[in-house]
Amino acid sequence: MVSKIVKHRCESSRGIKDQSSFTTTYEYGGRFSEPTIRNEFLNLITQ
């Protein structure tokens, strides 16, 4: 599983001045593609 929190240049290039906005992207592969496995893992790491 990969998680990225990034700022997109498309906002700033259009003149948006909000410095607090960001985008989060998740990519699930392998066993994490199975919702049951993914949810179990996410529950364990957020306790």
Q: Return the pLDDT at 36.
A: 95
User: First and final CA of the chain: distance in angstroms?
Assistant: 18
Q: With 0-12 CB in 10 A as exposed, 13-18 as middle and 19+ as buried, what is 36?
A: exposed
Q: Where exactly are the structural domains of the chain?
A: 2-45
Residue ranges in the chain assigned as alpha helix (H):
9-13, 35-45
Percent of the chain scored above 70 by pLDDT? 91
- The residue among 19 and 25 whose pLDDT is bigger is 25
Q: Return the pLDDT at 47.
A: 80
> Alpha-carbon distance 21 to 19, whole Å?
6
How do residues 5-20 score in pLDDT, each as one tens digit? 777 677 667 777 777 7
The chain-wide mean pLDDT, for the chain, equals 81
Model confidence, pTM: 0.51
